[in-house]
Amino acid sequence: MADLEEIYQHFQNKLSSLQCMLDLSAADLPQQKIKKLGQEVLGLGRMLEEFEKCVDQQKEQLLQLKELEKLFQNYLESVQHMKDNFPAHIPKRKSPVKDNKPADNQPAWAEKTKKINRNFVKEVDYITTQEYESIPHYMKGRVSYEQLNAVVEGINTAVAAKYKILCQPLKALNNHSRKLQQRFKDQETKDTRGQFFVVEEDMHEFTQMKVDKRFQGILNMLRQCQRLREVRGGGLVRYMLM
């Protein structure tokens, strides 16, 4: 389709021709010329009607585009709102964990190693904003939502590193890892059988986190949110994943 400049020029040429014919109308024009003048006028009329239809169609499309623009703007605002309020940590869907207890004559660590190979290493679910708000203020203190979940991430790092070593065959480990593996086995009790847990030494070993009074306060919050529970024995505090 010709662009507007070409259409404009076409109409200008037609109008110039008609004007010229009208200027000569004072003279005695032949019948053939008068007939041609009428045909030109009718042709311009039909062309104007076609253009009016096109304009109406364009107006309808413009209205539809404005509706689409409004809808798109609403979607854009919704996406921007979600982007601005996207949580740093999204809770994972909990997978069912089979409660398979080992035989009495089987070492607890062997059952755990078997479980790790067969399934997965359990993780602490991140704390949601709703759970964070539900923690009593005296317990929460100045610990922020991000700081609380940073400890969750640190615990998961320690758990993953610990049980990776536990499920390795002895000959695949270096001297340091062998000592760690033996320590992990020695820390097992009948209460930790088939469960995942860490102790303060694991946090020192596998993370850069400071295990201080503030850290202990965060552990209390995680117990409040039913992420951990304590199992004590032999002078050791084990933080069991729930």
Please check whether residue 171 lies inside any domain of the structure: yes
How far apart are alpha carbons 214 and 103 in whole angstroms?
40
27: pLDDT confidence band, cut at 50, 70 and 90? low
Please check whether residue 60 lies inside any domain of the structure: yes
44, 132: one domain: no
- Span between the terminal Cα atoms of the chain, in Å: 71
pLDDT at 109 over 60: no
**Per-residue pLDDT, 4:** 64
Which whole number is the average pLDDT over 91-108?
47
Tokens of 157: 């790092």
194: pLDDT confidence band, cut at 50, 70 and 90? confident
**Per-residue pLDDT, 9:** 73
186: pLDDT confidence band, cut at 50, 70 and 90? very high
pLDDT at 129 over 80: yes
Which whole number is the average pLDDT over 85-89?
67
**Per-residue pLDDT, 92:** 57
Q: Interior CA angle at 153 toward 242 and 174, to 5°?
A: 95
Least confident of 50-59, 79-88, 199-208: 79-88
Please check whether residue 196 lies inside any domain of the structure: yes
68, 115: one domain: no
197, 127: one domain: yes
Which whole number is the average pLDDT over 224-233?
93
Buried b (16+ CB within 10 A) or exposed e, 12-48: eeeeeeeeebeeeeeeeeeeeeeeebeeeeeeeeeee
Q: Interior CA angle at 169 toward 167 and 117, to 5°?
A: 30
Please check whether residue 104 lies inside any domain of the structure: no
Residue 154 and residue 203 in contact, taking contact as beta carbons nearer than 8 Å: yes
**Per-residue pLDDT, 156:** 95
Residue 236's domain comprises 109-241
How far apart are alpha carbons 17 and 145 in whole angstroms?
81
129, 67: one domain: no
Nearest residue to 184 via CA among 102, 104, 109: 109
Tokens of 190: 């009948």
* pTM listed for this prediction: 0.57
How far apart are alpha carbons 73 and 53 in whole angstroms?
30
Please check whether residue 94 lies inside any domain of the structure: no
* Domain stops at, among 43, 67, 84: 84
Which whole number is the average pLDDT over 118-145?
88
Q: What is the dihedral of CA 46, 48, 51, 52, to 10 degrees?
A: -100
* Domain stops at, among 69, 84, 99: 84
How far apart are alpha carbons 73 and 136 in whole angstroms?
40
pLDDT at 201 over 90: yes
53, 162: one domain: no
Please check whether residue 75 lies inside any domain of the structure: yes
pLDDT at 192 over 70: yes
DSSP-based three-state secondary structure for 119:
coil
**Per-residue pLDDT, 105:** 47
**Per-residue pLDDT, 127:** 94
182, 123: one domain: yes
How far apart are alpha carbons 102 and 118 in whole angstroms?
14
pLDDT at 121 over 60: yes
- Please indicate whether residue 198 or residue 112 has the higher confidence score (pLDDT): 198
47, 118: one domain: no
119, 219: one domain: yes
Buried b (16+ CB within 10 A) or exposed e, 149-163: bbbbbbbbbbbebbb
pLDDT at 15 over 80: no
- Please indicate whether residue 133 or residue 11 has the higher confidence score (pLDDT): 133
Please check whether residue 97 lies inside any domain of the structure: no
pLDDT at 214 over 80: yes
Strands 236-241 and 228-233: what pairing?
antiparallel
Least confident of 113-122, 207-216, 230-239: 113-122
User: For the chain, what is the domain count?
Assistant: 2
Mind giving me the DSSP string for 218-234? HHHHHHHTTSEEEEEET
